[in-house]
Amino acid sequence: MLRQTRIAPRVLERDAFGALIDRLAADGRRVIGPTRRDGAIVYAEIAGEKDLPAGWGDEQAAGRYRLRPRADKALFGYAVGPDSWKRWLRPPRRTLWRAKRTNGSFEIVRDDADAAKLAFLGVRACELAAVAALDDALLAGPHPDKAYAARRANALLVAVNCGSPAGGCFCVSMKTGPKAQAGFDLALTEIIDANGHRFMVEAGSDAGVGVLAALPTRKARQADLAAASAVIDGARERMGRTLDTDGLKQRLADRPQDRGWDRIAERCLACGACTQVCPTCFCATVEDHTSLSGNEAERVEVWDSCFTGRFSELGGGQVRETTAARYRQWMTHKLSSWHDQFGTSGCVGCGRCIAWCPVGIDITEEAAAVGAPPEDRT
């Protein structure tokens, strides 16, 4: 969706960072970025750099997420939190149409696609891959989601290369990070070293070039390029998890009756937390509501999950009655059948499902166990 543009990297000093947010707002965009709220890093509309979680990082493990203070005052010194950009591109709840009866007749008002101009600040490389996956699912088919298309077309993406992976991150295994490769308008690398606190900025589109040209930047020196590479290399070396994907797609597809699914189900609560925090899960359902008077009605689209009891109900019966079947559907779709549908993996290695699972189920461990080669199985 972006026209790739190549210009030499520039450097934006920390004390001038607010100019980036001001420039995005001056273009008429609502700037959505990371904020600290309720003990987590979440995405919300921001007015300036003061709203960013300066000096905060996080600690993540299976079933665990905690914020921790950082001494270096990094603006983006954290891994991904429970929020993802799909909340803004595909809201959890959207009214499709409303109907109102008046004087014996009625009118239907359809939802107008939200045309607000947005700027997403702080998009990680794994999240760029997630947005690309949503594009494949919601735009590339014969019936594109018009509301998603409108929001996507009006969103400018400012990526930030990851320098602080969490305990559940495995983007290197999924080949989605930690460095943003494509799909961004601007990509930043936050550098804090003996030479100061600064950001190396790369443009990935004509829109990004326009924003960059308006900022008080300087040409990146060799020391800046080396420092930015060191940030990426350090993140790559500190990945919290790994997943061997070689042949995994077919091994999972071949084992629908593996005993591992029942073992997972003994722990799984079927709560759907993994699907809510997953940046690529896109399933939804519709609900119809009628007023008590009978004069007004509406149809609403809401997020759904393959873990909910009635998600796969057909003809009064459920296709997947057990928790084991539901977890199998979710994981095999992410790591196996998504390849058949869209040509890529549906998992981007962000680790959200690991951290936010209330019982700490780890998709990398379970996929490795169920999909282990025959010679490695006990």
**Both tokens assigned to 374:** 């025959």
What does the pLDDT read at residue 141? Answer: 83
Per-residue pLDDT of the chain (378 residues), as tens digits, is 455 556 899 999 999 999 999 999 999 999 999 999 999 999 999 999 999 999 999 999 999 999 999 999 999 999 999 999 999 999 999 999 999 988 878 888 887 666 789 999 999 999 999 999 999 999 988 899 999 999 999 999 999 999 999 999 999 999 999 999 999 999 999 999 999 999 999 999 999 999 999 999 999 999 999 999 999 999 999 999 999 999 999 999 999 999 999 999 999 999 999 999 999 999 999 999 999 988 899 999 999 999 998 887 777 777 888 999 999 999 999 999 999 999 999 999 999 999 999 999 999 999 999 967 655 555
Partners of residue 158 on adjacent β-strands: 121, 186
d(CA 52, CA 160): 13
pLDDT of the residue at 5: 57
| Residues 6+ away with beta carbon under 8 Å from 285 | 301, 302, 304, 311
* Sign of the CA dihedral running 160, 164, 170, 172: positive
Contact assessment for residue 280 and residue 134, using Cβ atoms and an 8 Å cutoff: yes
Angle of CA points 327, 329, 330, to nearest 5°: 65
Question: Has this prediction a pTM greater than 0.85?
Answer: yes
Closest Cα partner for 212 from 185, 244, 178, 239? 185
Backbone angles phi, psi at 93, to 5 degrees: -145, 130
pLDDT at residue 108, as a whole number: 86
* Nearest Cα residue to 170 out of 242, 245, 62, 237: 242
Distances, alpha carbon 17 to alpha carbons 28, 155, 307, 335, in Å: 18, 20, 42, 38
Rg of the chain (C-alpha set): 22
* One-letter identity of residue 288: D
Instruction: Please tell me the predicted confidence (pLDDT) of residue 314.
Output: 78
Backbone angles phi, psi at 364, to 5 degrees: -70, -40
